[in-house]
Amino acid sequence: MRSKLTAFALAVTALAMPALAQDRTPAVRQSLVDLAYVLGEAHALRQACLGEDDQYWRTRMIRMVDTEQPDAALDRRLKESFNTGFASRQGEFPTCTGATHRAEIATAARGQSLAAQLSQVMNPVQGDAPPTLKEMNADAGHGDVATRPAPR
């Protein structure tokens, strides 16, 4: 379980180079919003087990926003998405149970997938075209955050 969470954390950290989202496609901007939602979910799930003082995923979110330096509209969407993801999982998993741990693993897998997709778009292998939004959503799987509309 911890290996998936660690991989997710490393993937988010790997996005340390700004995506310059204000200059990117709507698909990239949406993927950043989706990743913010997943970070919010992860924050709530981790706090359910480790307590409200734990700020691990919130700190990662702050780093992502600081790195991206988004325009005001995207900044607002990122923060709203994080908060929506947090509230969703906090309401669903108010205490630490086996189900909380399983949800944490699934959330980490979604986050890792989104981070990997963004990494491919930001740093494509020479000669490879970045994935399209359709490809990104198909790779994310049915029901993932990437296929949901962003909170408004």
Annotated domain spans of the chain: 2-17+24-144
Listed range (10-14, 79-83, 144-148) with the worst mean pLDDT:
144-148
- Whole-number Å distance between alpha carbons of 87 and 68: 24
27 contacts 117 by C-beta, under 8 angstroms? no
Which pLDDT tens digit goes with each residue over 20-55? Answer: 444 568 889 999 999 999 999 999 999 999 999 999
Please give the mean pLDDT across all residues of the chain: 79
Q: Pick the closest to residue 82 from 45, 147, 36 (CA basis).
A: 36
Average pLDDT for 111-136:
69
Residues 6+ apart with CB under 8 A from 76: none
- At residue 9 the predicted structure's pLDDT band, cuts being 50, 70 and 90, is low
Q: Which of 11-20, 99-108, 135-144 has the least mean pLDDT?
A: 135-144
Distance CA 83, CA 78 (A): 9
pLDDT single digits (tens) 93-114 = 999 999 999 999 999 999 999 9
C-beta of residue 28 within 8 angstroms of C-beta of residue 124: no
Which pLDDT does position 120 carry in this prediction?
A: 82
